[in-house]
A = this chain, B = another copy of it.
Amino acid sequence: MNAAPKITGATRLYAIVGDPITQVRSPEVFSERFAAMGVDAVLVPFHVPHASFDAIVPALLQLGNLDGLLVTVPFKARMLRFARRLGAAAQTVGAVNALRREADGSWTGDMFDGVGFVRGAEAKGLSVRGRRVALFGAGGAGSAIACALAAAGVKSIAVIDIDPEKAHALVDKLRQAFPECAVSAARRMPQDVDMVVNASPVGMRPGDGLPGDIGPLDSGTLVGDVVIAAAPTPIIRHAMRFGCPHVDGRDMHGGQIDALIAFFAPAARAPAGLSAEVA
Protein backbone atom coordinates (compact mmCIF):
# COMPACT_ATOMS: atom_id res chain seq x y z
CA MET A 1 0.00 0.00 0.00
CA ASN A 2 3.05 2.24 0.14
CA ALA A 3 3.81 1.97 -3.56
CA ALA A 4 4.84 5.37 -4.91
CA PRO A 5 3.13 6.58 -8.05
CA LYS A 6 5.32 7.32 -11.06
CA ILE A 7 3.98 9.76 -13.61
CA THR A 8 4.79 9.47 -17.32
CA GLY A 9 3.21 10.76 -20.51
CA ALA A 10 1.19 7.54 -20.72
CA THR A 11 -0.15 7.75 -17.15
CA ARG A 12 -3.96 7.86 -17.07
CA LEU A 13 -5.61 10.55 -14.96
CA TYR A 14 -8.29 10.48 -12.31
CA ALA A 15 -9.15 13.65 -10.40
CA ILE A 16 -11.17 14.86 -7.45
CA VAL A 17 -13.12 18.05 -8.03
CA GLY A 18 -14.09 20.36 -5.17
CA ASP A 19 -13.87 23.82 -3.63
CA PRO A 20 -11.91 23.91 -1.38
CA ILE A 21 -9.69 20.98 -2.31
CA THR A 22 -6.59 20.94 -0.09
CA GLN A 23 -8.28 18.87 2.65
CA VAL A 24 -9.18 15.87 0.46
CA ARG A 25 -7.42 12.56 1.11
CA SER A 26 -8.37 10.74 -2.09
CA PRO A 27 -5.33 11.74 -4.20
CA GLU A 28 -2.97 9.99 -1.81
CA VAL A 29 -5.24 7.01 -1.16
CA PHE A 30 -6.13 6.27 -4.78
CA SER A 31 -2.73 7.06 -6.32
CA GLU A 32 -1.15 4.58 -3.91
CA ARG A 33 -3.84 2.01 -4.63
CA PHE A 34 -3.33 2.32 -8.39
CA ALA A 35 0.43 1.95 -7.91
CA ALA A 36 -0.05 -1.10 -5.67
CA MET A 37 -2.31 -2.61 -8.35
CA GLY A 38 0.35 -2.03 -11.01
CA VAL A 39 -1.99 0.35 -12.86
CA ASP A 40 -0.35 3.36 -14.53
CA ALA A 41 -2.76 5.99 -13.21
CA VAL A 42 -2.81 8.74 -10.59
CA LEU A 43 -5.60 10.70 -8.92
CA VAL A 44 -4.89 14.43 -8.67
CA PRO A 45 -6.77 17.28 -7.01
CA PHE A 46 -8.59 19.71 -9.33
CA HIS A 47 -9.51 22.90 -7.51
CA VAL A 48 -12.58 24.16 -9.36
CA PRO A 49 -13.56 27.56 -7.90
CA HIS A 50 -17.32 27.23 -7.43
CA ALA A 51 -18.09 30.34 -9.49
CA SER A 52 -16.25 28.76 -12.43
CA PHE A 53 -17.86 25.32 -12.18
CA ASP A 54 -19.93 25.63 -15.36
CA ALA A 55 -16.99 27.02 -17.33
CA ILE A 56 -14.45 24.46 -16.20
CA VAL A 57 -16.16 21.09 -15.74
CA PRO A 58 -17.53 20.42 -19.26
CA ALA A 59 -14.04 21.14 -20.61
CA LEU A 60 -12.29 18.87 -18.10
CA LEU A 61 -14.54 16.02 -19.17
CA GLN A 62 -13.10 16.33 -22.70
CA LEU A 63 -9.50 15.67 -21.59
CA GLY A 64 -8.48 12.62 -23.58
CA ASN A 65 -6.60 10.89 -20.76
CA LEU A 66 -9.04 11.54 -17.90
CA ASP A 67 -10.76 8.26 -16.96
CA GLY A 68 -12.62 9.13 -13.79
CA LEU A 69 -13.66 11.85 -11.36
CA LEU A 70 -14.48 11.98 -7.69
CA VAL A 71 -16.74 14.81 -6.63
CA THR A 72 -16.79 16.52 -3.26
CA VAL A 73 -18.42 19.58 -1.66
CA PRO A 74 -20.13 21.62 -3.07
CA PHE A 75 -20.56 19.91 -6.45
CA LYS A 76 -22.21 16.52 -5.83
CA ALA A 77 -25.65 17.66 -7.01
CA ARG A 78 -24.41 20.00 -9.76
CA MET A 79 -22.26 17.24 -11.28
CA LEU A 80 -25.27 14.99 -11.86
CA ARG A 81 -26.17 16.47 -15.25
CA PHE A 82 -22.82 15.52 -16.80
CA ALA A 83 -23.57 11.80 -16.41
CA ARG A 84 -25.36 10.18 -19.35
CA ARG A 85 -26.11 7.14 -17.16
CA LEU A 86 -26.72 7.05 -13.39
CA GLY A 87 -26.56 4.27 -10.84
CA ALA A 88 -29.58 3.58 -8.61
CA ALA A 89 -28.17 5.45 -5.60
CA ALA A 90 -27.36 8.54 -7.69
CA GLN A 91 -30.85 8.53 -9.18
CA THR A 92 -32.53 8.33 -5.80
CA VAL A 93 -30.23 10.79 -4.05
CA GLY A 94 -30.06 13.21 -6.98
CA ALA A 95 -26.29 13.57 -6.69
CA VAL A 96 -23.07 11.81 -7.70
CA ASN A 97 -19.72 11.54 -6.02
CA ALA A 98 -18.01 9.59 -8.79
CA LEU A 99 -18.01 9.49 -12.59
CA ARG A 100 -16.19 7.19 -14.96
CA ARG A 101 -15.58 7.53 -18.68
CA GLU A 102 -17.06 4.78 -20.84
CA ALA A 103 -15.51 3.43 -24.03
CA ASP A 104 -17.75 5.71 -26.13
CA GLY A 105 -16.48 8.80 -24.25
CA SER A 106 -19.69 9.36 -22.25
CA TRP A 107 -19.75 9.50 -18.46
CA THR A 108 -21.53 7.25 -15.96
CA GLY A 109 -22.14 8.57 -12.45
CA ASP A 110 -23.06 7.07 -9.11
CA MET A 111 -23.18 7.98 -5.43
CA PHE A 112 -21.05 5.96 -3.02
CA ASP A 113 -21.37 7.93 0.21
CA GLY A 114 -24.09 5.63 1.52
CA VAL A 115 -22.39 2.43 0.39
CA GLY A 116 -19.27 3.72 2.13
CA PHE A 117 -21.19 3.94 5.37
CA VAL A 118 -22.51 0.39 5.11
CA ARG A 119 -19.11 -1.00 4.04
CA GLY A 120 -17.41 0.97 6.83
CA ALA A 121 -19.75 -0.73 9.31
CA GLU A 122 -19.11 -4.15 7.78
CA ALA A 123 -15.35 -3.55 7.98
CA LYS A 124 -15.85 -3.25 11.75
CA GLY A 125 -17.85 -6.47 11.84
CA LEU A 126 -21.16 -4.61 12.22
CA SER A 127 -24.24 -5.59 10.19
CA VAL A 128 -27.07 -3.20 9.47
CA ARG A 129 -29.54 -5.83 8.15
CA GLY A 130 -32.85 -5.88 10.01
CA ARG A 131 -32.09 -2.81 12.10
CA ARG A 132 -34.65 -0.12 12.98
CA VAL A 133 -32.92 3.16 12.18
CA ALA A 134 -33.31 6.75 13.34
CA LEU A 135 -31.63 8.99 10.77
CA PHE A 136 -30.90 12.65 11.56
CA GLY A 137 -30.53 14.76 8.41
CA ALA A 138 -32.34 14.43 5.06
CA GLY A 139 -29.79 16.30 2.90
CA GLY A 140 -27.34 14.80 0.42
CA ALA A 141 -25.45 12.68 2.95
CA GLY A 142 -28.66 11.57 4.68
CA SER A 143 -30.30 10.64 1.38
CA ALA A 144 -27.28 8.60 0.31
CA ILE A 145 -27.09 6.75 3.64
CA ALA A 146 -30.83 6.11 3.71
CA CYS A 147 -30.68 4.55 0.24
CA ALA A 148 -27.72 2.38 1.13
CA LEU A 149 -29.31 1.26 4.42
CA ALA A 150 -32.58 0.38 2.69
CA ALA A 151 -30.66 -1.49 -0.02
CA ALA A 152 -28.71 -3.33 2.71
CA GLY A 153 -31.95 -4.56 4.29
CA VAL A 154 -32.67 -2.41 7.34
CA LYS A 155 -36.20 -2.98 8.66
CA SER A 156 -37.25 0.63 9.11
CA ILE A 157 -35.96 4.20 8.79
CA ALA A 158 -37.36 7.18 10.70
CA VAL A 159 -36.12 10.37 9.04
CA ILE A 160 -35.68 13.42 11.28
CA ASP A 161 -34.80 16.84 9.86
CA ILE A 162 -35.22 20.37 11.19
CA ASP A 163 -36.94 21.00 7.85
CA PRO A 164 -39.98 18.63 7.85
CA GLU A 165 -40.48 19.13 4.10
CA LYS A 166 -37.01 17.76 3.41
CA ALA A 167 -37.75 14.77 5.60
CA HIS A 168 -41.04 14.11 3.80
CA ALA A 169 -39.44 14.46 0.36
CA LEU A 170 -36.80 11.88 1.26
CA VAL A 171 -39.42 9.56 2.70
CA ASP A 172 -41.41 9.72 -0.55
CA LYS A 173 -38.33 8.89 -2.62
CA LEU A 174 -37.37 6.00 -0.35
CA ARG A 175 -40.88 4.51 -0.37
CA GLN A 176 -40.85 4.45 -4.16
CA ALA A 177 -37.37 2.97 -4.44
CA PHE A 178 -37.55 0.56 -1.47
CA PRO A 179 -41.20 -0.46 -0.87
CA GLU A 180 -40.08 -3.30 1.43
CA CYS A 181 -38.53 -0.88 3.97
CA ALA A 182 -40.80 0.88 6.51
CA VAL A 183 -39.91 4.53 6.05
CA SER A 184 -41.46 7.43 7.94
CA ALA A 185 -40.79 11.05 8.80
CA ALA A 186 -40.45 11.79 12.51
CA ARG A 187 -40.25 14.89 14.68
CA ARG A 188 -38.14 13.18 17.31
CA MET A 189 -36.27 9.93 17.72
CA PRO A 190 -38.58 6.91 18.07
CA GLN A 191 -38.11 4.73 21.17
CA ASP A 192 -37.74 1.34 19.52
CA VAL A 193 -34.65 1.91 17.32
CA ASP A 194 -31.43 -0.09 17.47
CA MET A 195 -29.46 2.17 15.14
CA VAL A 196 -28.95 5.96 15.23
CA VAL A 197 -27.19 7.84 12.44
CA ASN A 198 -26.23 11.51 12.30
CA ALA A 199 -26.17 12.70 8.69
CA SER A 200 -26.72 16.34 9.64
CA PRO A 201 -23.90 18.89 9.94
CA VAL A 202 -24.35 18.96 13.74
CA GLY A 203 -21.01 18.03 15.26
CA MET A 204 -18.86 19.85 12.73
CA ARG A 205 -18.44 23.00 14.79
CA PRO A 206 -16.79 23.27 18.21
CA GLY A 207 -19.44 23.46 20.89
CA ASP A 208 -21.97 21.43 18.88
CA GLY A 209 -24.06 18.95 20.84
CA LEU A 210 -26.13 15.99 19.70
CA PRO A 211 -28.34 16.30 16.57
CA GLY A 212 -31.46 15.62 18.67
CA ASP A 213 -32.78 14.28 21.96
CA ILE A 214 -31.11 10.88 21.81
CA GLY A 215 -31.06 9.97 25.48
CA PRO A 216 -29.55 6.81 27.02
CA LEU A 217 -28.77 4.01 24.55
CA ASP A 218 -28.81 0.26 24.78
CA SER A 219 -25.30 -1.11 24.27
CA GLY A 220 -26.50 -3.03 21.22
CA THR A 221 -27.45 0.16 19.39
CA LEU A 222 -25.27 0.86 16.36
CA VAL A 223 -24.33 4.57 16.19
CA GLY A 224 -23.13 6.28 13.04
CA ASP A 225 -21.89 9.78 12.13
CA VAL A 226 -20.98 11.28 8.77
CA VAL A 227 -18.85 14.08 10.29
CA ILE A 228 -15.13 13.66 9.65
CA ALA A 229 -13.20 15.07 12.58
CA ALA A 230 -9.85 14.53 14.29
CA ALA A 231 -11.47 13.90 17.70
CA PRO A 232 -14.67 11.93 18.42
CA THR A 233 -17.80 13.99 17.68
CA PRO A 234 -20.55 14.48 20.30
CA ILE A 235 -22.68 11.59 19.01
CA ILE A 236 -19.67 9.25 18.85
CA ARG A 237 -18.74 10.27 22.43
CA HIS A 238 -22.38 9.55 23.38
CA ALA A 239 -22.06 6.07 21.81
CA MET A 240 -18.80 5.41 23.66
CA ARG A 241 -20.39 6.45 26.94
CA PHE A 242 -23.04 3.73 26.56
CA GLY A 243 -20.67 1.12 25.13
CA CYS A 244 -22.32 1.18 21.69
CA PRO A 245 -20.57 0.08 18.49
CA HIS A 246 -20.01 3.05 16.18
CA VAL A 247 -19.07 4.06 12.64
CA ASP A 248 -17.64 7.53 12.07
CA GLY A 249 -16.92 9.73 9.04
CA ARG A 250 -13.49 8.22 8.56
CA ASP A 251 -14.90 4.68 8.56
CA MET A 252 -17.45 5.83 5.97
CA HIS A 253 -14.74 7.36 3.78
CA GLY A 254 -12.57 4.28 4.03
CA GLY A 255 -15.53 2.04 3.28
CA GLN A 256 -16.00 3.67 -0.12
CA ILE A 257 -12.56 2.99 -1.49
CA ASP A 258 -12.98 -0.61 -2.63
CA ALA A 259 -16.40 0.20 -4.10
CA LEU A 260 -14.94 3.16 -6.02
CA ILE A 261 -11.98 1.13 -7.28
CA ALA A 262 -14.45 -1.49 -8.55
CA PHE A 263 -16.55 1.26 -10.17
CA PHE A 264 -13.51 2.83 -11.87
CA ALA A 265 -12.07 -0.60 -12.81
CA PRO A 266 -8.81 1.16 -13.70
CA ALA A 267 -7.07 -1.98 -14.98
CA ALA A 268 -9.76 -2.39 -17.63
CA ARG A 269 -9.04 1.14 -18.81
CA ALA A 270 -5.26 0.83 -19.08
CA PRO A 271 -3.66 0.30 -22.49
CA ALA A 272 -3.84 -3.28 -23.76
CA GLY A 273 -0.30 -4.22 -22.80
CA LEU A 274 -0.66 -3.10 -19.23
CA SER A 275 -4.10 -4.59 -18.91
CA ALA A 276 -2.70 -7.99 -19.75
CA GLU A 277 0.10 -7.42 -17.27
CA VAL A 278 -2.18 -6.75 -14.34
CA ALA A 279 -4.99 -9.11 -15.31
Contact = CB atoms under 8 A, between A and B. Distances in A.
Contact of A7 (B5, B10, B57, B65): B5
Interface string A28-72: 100100000000001111111100100111111011110000000
A27 B52 contact: no
Contact of A27 (B7, B19, B25, B26): B7
Contacts of A261: none
A105 to B, nearest CB: 10
Given A7-B31, A27-B8, A47 B21 contact: no
B45 A65 contact: yes
Contact of A59 (B4, B13, B56): B56
B44 A64 contact: no
A6 interface: yes
- Please give the count of copies of this chain that the complex contains: 2
Contacts of A10: 22, 45
Contact of A4 (B4, B45, B55): B4
Contacts of A64: 19, 21, 47-49
B44 A24 contact: no
B47 A44 contact: no
Contact of A62 (B22, B49, B63, B65): B49
A91 interface: no
Given A42-B44, A55-B62, A56-B63, A25 B49 contact: no
A9 interface: yes
A117 B94 CA distance: 55
Given A4-B4, A5-B5, A52 B45 contact: no
A176 interface: no
B31 A9 contact: no
B4 A6 contact: yes
Most B CB within 10 A of own CB, among A8, A26, A57: A8
A48 B22 contact: no
Contacts of A19: 64
Nearest to A23: B9
A16 interface: yes
A127 interface: no
12 contacts: A4-B5, A5-B7, A7-B31, A8-B45, A9-B26, A13-B45, A48-B64, A52-B62, A56-B59, A56-B60, A57-B59, A60-B60
Query: 10 smallest A-B Cβ distances: which pairs?
Result: A59-B59, A4-B4, A47-B64, A9-B24, A47-B65, A10-B22, A7-B27, A56-B59, A7-B31, A9-B45
Interface of A: 4-11, 13, 16, 19, 21-28, 31, 42-49, 52, 55-60, 62-65
